[in-house]
Structure 1
Amino acid sequence: MSTPRLRDSFITSQADLVKARRLVVKIGSSSLTTLDGGISVAALERLVDALQTLRTRGTQVVLVSSGAIAAGLAPLTMGVRPQDLAGKQAAAAVGQGLLMAHYSRTFGQYGAVAAQLLLTVEDLIRRSQYTNALRSIERLLSMGAVPIINENDAVATHEIRFGDNDRLAALTANLIHADALILLSDVDALYDGPPAEGGTALPVIDGPEALAAVRLGGSGKAGLGTGGMVTKVGAAEICTNNGIPAMLTSADRAPELFAGEAVGTFFTARGRRRGARSAWLTHLAHTEGRVVVDAGAVSAVVGRRRSLLPAGITACEGVFEASDPVDVVGPDGVVVARGIASYSSQELPRMMGRTTAALAEEMGPDYDRPVIHTDDMVRLG
């Protein structure tokens, strides 16, 4: 599989967005549906028209679209968004098809093919699924299609959590090495307080300190959206911490944004751009267990960025297999790193506190290797 080359973002301000080569655009439910729960065809068509402006410039677009549950309410004569899981699944099963039918028709008017990808955060926990998702998106983009991603609400096994699509969009941006993430909702910018109470729009967020005095609001109009501003800011933070800038504005102002006009709020990238594996471990990996290490191992792993050796391990917790993600915990109980274990939880107890040379001599050359290699580890401390 050919993957995009990891590079630092060249987008340092909103004005640079017109030069983006690849963007992830997320649209919220409240921007695509009517107050009674049906799809707003006019709003969807305006969105596609705006996205086509990007595509005409040569920008590759991946769309993360909410709206399936909201779109299914009216056809199923549901007066309000259901609170039970089965009701949400039913609405999503009806609404997702309707949503994609409109996307396919509208993009088709421009000669573009819309492709559906239904994902959940759980689908991206395992490295194999994560890699397969990247492969699928890359192939679709190379063929000129528009990947449209939504959470797979219709078959979710846990309660559908607020804000999943905001987070999913941020993780997708990192997955495909996008130049930026665009978050479109029914609010035209991030305000430092409720606009009705005199809140002021913030044009730029360049670090956590800029968010310190911001009061964040809840869900969108009529309760059709679920993410709210909290999850949008959280999604922007995931991206900026991984070296990817983010932009927040309303769907109504998307044409202005894509035309290069100054609208919304720009979140400046400040972190180091991570590779796919590092981002997966940092934001997606569901760890299966923990290895507790001594102070010397913490210094080596975090301070000197060394691999984790069995000599520094003092305890092993949980049940995991080789190749599972595990947390590395210091003697004070703080998680300092996360990585892919080379050994199972059954093997590790007899290895703890011993050198790799001694283990190799007693148990064979296959044991002359670290418990977690530095290339398979992210530092969290």
Structure 2
Amino acid sequence: MSVHREAVRTARSIVVKIGTTALTTPTGVFDARRLQSLVDAIEGRMKAGSDVVIVSSGAIAAGIEPLGLLRRPTDLATKQAAASVGQVALVNSWSAAFRRYDRTVGQVLLTAHDISMRVQHTNAQRTLDRLRALHAVAIVNENDTVATNEIRFGDNDRLSALVAHLVGADALILLSDIDGLYDSDPRKSGARFIPEVNGPDDLEGVIAGRGSSLGTGGMASKLSSALLAADAGVPVLLAAAADAANALSDASVGTVFAPRGTRMSARRFWVRYAADSAGSLTLDEGAVRAVLKQRRSLLPAGVTASSGRFYGGDVVELKGPDGTVVARGVVAYDAGELSSMMGRSTSDLPVDMRRPAVHADDLVAV
């Protein structure tokens, strides 16, 4: 067994993401029996000593039948209505399934805004940590009832990667109807299975497709989210829900994604992946080199232009002279203040304005 599968197998804290297709019949009807089977596998891992946080899709699908809909809705209002009804059925099903093992379930609904804002981000982290400390099983889902087309994780795959880092998980397990990563559509002949991803070379020639009509994910989403979590230092296992027992016991199935060597700090992860950008700064060539090559702070002298209405403490994108985003960071000044400082040497500025525009500790290359 590879060292990365061993890391998943022995992880003391894991996030398990359950896709919509893992909880529905082929016709798209929510199936509580499938959920119960998954709970049996998750309970086995918990009895072995691991803490488990579950990121569960399926709210909209669970609301289709009760509302008398014929298919998954496409307009936002009906999606939110279906999620409102389905969320009740979904969490009740999780609660009933875990009740067989005398476990209490807690529901945590998040939106992209909750993750992008530092205060809400920290509060969500505390809630999840406290649920685990109280031995409750956290069931996390995107809050589809209030999310909008503009403020979305896009799918629960990405949400699960963010949650894995949020709770400091040792591993992330993505379960759906797909048994791992292939270089092309596995439903077609000639597709090659990829058992382990250690770097970009293992993904050469891989073509990842979009999701089904029931869910919002798909292989492209799963691959992106697996790489996000791995880049943050969390090993990832992508496997089929039908293989949940093996995935959660010995990690012998699916595709494993190797994590980066060092785990990214919570703040740097938030800056790079979670926070919304409030604006952008354009840098000259010298500043780009200092930021990327020398890991130095960004000084006002290296800023040639800014855009957006941002304030000190907001996250902004840092762009090279050609407009390419090269980094993200927490800006120290309001947009108005910085506009009067751009291109000026630190020694020419008032004493109270001699801080870096973006400190190296709050700056992450992309």
Q: TM bucket by the smaller chain?
A: over 0.9
Q: In 2, are the aligned partners of 1:23 and 1:178 still within 8 Å (CA)?
A: yes
Shift of 1:271: 5.5
SS in 1 for 2:173: strand
Secondary structure at the counterpart of residue 301 of structure 1: helix
Pick closer, same or farther for the CA change 1:198–1:298 going to 2, 3 Å.
Answer: closer
TM-score (norm 2): 0.94
Moved more, 74-83 or 284-293: 284-293
Pair 1:127 & 2:118 matched: yes
Question: 66-75 or 244-253: which moved more?
Answer: 244-253
1:374: which partner in 2? Answer: 360
How big is each residue's C-alpha offset from its partner over 1:110-162, in whole Å with a ceiling of 9 and x where there is no partner? 12211111112222111111111111111111111111111111112226868
Q: For 1:195 and 1:292, locate their aligned partners in 2 and report how far apart those are by CA, in whole Å.
A: 46
Aligned: 1:356 with 2:346:
yes
Give distance in 2, aligned partners of 1:331 and 1:159.
28
Letter in 2 for 1:304: Q
Q: Deviations over 1:261-309 (max 9, x none)?
A: 6211111123642111111111122211111222222222222111111
Kept in 2: contact 1:297–1:312 (CA 8 A) = yes
Following TM superposition, by how much is the alpha carbon of 1:27 offset from its aligned partner in structure 2, in angstroms?
0.5
Q: Is 2:280–2:308's contact at 8 Å kept on the other side of the alignment?
A: yes
Q: Deviations over 1:160-191 (max 9, x none)?
A: 86852101111111222211110000122222
Query: Corresponding residue for 2:222?
Result: 232
Match of 1:139 in 2: 130
Match of 1:342 among 298, 322, 332: 332
Match of residue 181, structure 2, among 179, 182, 190: 190
Secondary structure of 1:373 counterpart: strand
1:174 to 162, 165, 169: 165
Q: Is 2:149 the partner of 1:158?
A: yes
Distance of 1:39 and 1:235 partners within structure 2: 25
Among 197, 218, 222, the residue aligned to 1:205: 197
- What residue identity is the alignment partner of 2:42? L
* Residues 289 and 327 in structure 1, CA contact (< 8 A), matched pair in contact too: yes
Matched, 1:277 2:277: no
- Corresponding residue for residue 6 of structure 1: none
**Whole-Å Cα distance in 1 between the matches of residues 297 and 181 of structure 2?**
41
| TM-score, normalization by structure 1 | 0.90
Q: Which amino acid aligns with 1:241?
A: D
- Shift, 1:219, TM fit: 2.5
C-alpha contact (below 8 Å) 1:207/1:270 kept by paired residues:
no
Q: Choose the corresponding residue for 2:88, options 97, 103, 126.
A: 97
- Distance change >3 Å, CA 128–CA 160, structure 1 → 2: closer
CA distance in 2, matches of 1:267, 1:24: 15
Which residue of structure 1 aligns with residue 320 of structure 2? 330
SS of the equivalent of 1:71 reads helix
Equivalent runs, 1:227-266 vs 2, <5 Å: 227-260=217-250, 262-266=252-256
For residues 151 and 34 of structure 2, what CA distance do their matches in structure 1 show? 25
Give the Cα separation in 1 of the matches to 2:88 and 2:42.
Answer: 21
Q: Quote the residue 1:64 is aligned against.
A: 55
1:44-97 Cα shifts (integer Å, max 9, x gaps): 001111111111111111111000000000000101001111110110000001
Q: How many pairs are equivalent?
A: 364
SS at match of 2:37: helix
Q: Give the superposed CA RMSD.
A: 1.9
- The 2-side partners of 1:216 and 1:178 are apart by 26
The answer (yes or no) to whether the contact 2:154–2:216 under 8 Å persists in 1 is yes
Identity in percent: 48
Contact 2:8 2:237 in 1 (8 A): no
1:4: which partner in 2? Answer: none
Where structure 2 has 5 or more consecutive residues not aligned to the other structure, the ranges are: none
Distance 1:233 1:261, change over 3 A: closer
Question: What is residue 17 of structure 2 aligned with on the other side?
Answer: 26
Q: Which residue identity is paired with 2:172?
A: L
CA drift of 1:374 comes to: 1.2
For structure 1, list consecutive stretches of 5 or more residues without a partner in the other structure.
1-10
Secondary structure at the counterpart of residue 266 of structure 1: strand
- What's the CA shift for 1:12? 3.1
- 3-state secondary structure, aligned to 2:81: helix
Residue among 290, 300, 324 paired with 2:290 = 300
Q: Is the partner of 1:154 in helix, strand or coil?
A: coil
